[in-house]
Amino acid sequence: MTQDELKQAVARAAIDYVVDGAIIGVGTGSTANFFIDELGKIKHRIKGAVASSEATAARLKTHGIAVFDLNDVDSMPVYIDGADEITDQGAMIKGGGAALTREKIVASVAKQFVCIADGSKLVNMLGKFPLPVEVIPMAHMAVARQLSALGGEPRLRMKEGKPLMTDNGCVIIDVNGLQIADPEEMEARINNIVGVVTVGLFALRGADIALLGTAEGVKRMEFR
């Protein structure tokens, strides 16, 4: 199976976690896009969705799915999103699609986080994938120096020759060379650096369930 076929398989499997009549949280990225396309087939069953990015909101709307502002939603039964890496403890690196802050916010409101990914994203230790850190623009050099002190190799993410700007008007520093043995400690430590909006470690609030696409089918892992 191709990587896209694996992503489609987990997207279809994630439909089982959609709660009828509810508003659900929807993530950002290629795997989340496959899920949105599947969600469009059952849109009559849900009230709508909260999007973790402008791109996700636009894709939901093309399927005729109502998009709600998170400020108007008290709680959600489930948040469904992909991951760049995930461990067998449910800790993740996210942010390859530059939506880490909004993803973390929407996930914090949901009762359950279902991670959907192809099986290659399952790792023993986080850090091979560059760790994204969203940063206030004026602070990116100061933050980069502190990330270097942690043993990483920070690099400002660029797009078309300019710093990539997030939906929040911030920039992203990608940190290479980290071996993250204690994701919760690292998440708290980086989040405490002045100028950081949030780090793309989802460990303090990790996944509850992972659906991983493999050649043998969809593998389900439960963490909490």
DSSP calls for 30-52: HHHHHHHHHHHTTGGGSSEEEES
Q: What's the pLDDT score for residue 1?
A: 81
Which of 85, 103, 134, 187 is catalytic? The answer is 103
pTM exceeds cut of 0.85: yes
Strands (E), 13-120: 23-26, 48-51, 79-81, 85-86, 92-93, 113-118
Nearest CA among 63, 20, 13 for reference residue 51? 63
**Once rounded to an integer, what is the mean pLDDT over residues 133-153?**
97
Whether 103 is catalytic = yes
Q: What's the pLDDT score for residue 209?
A: 98
Average pLDDT, the chain: 97
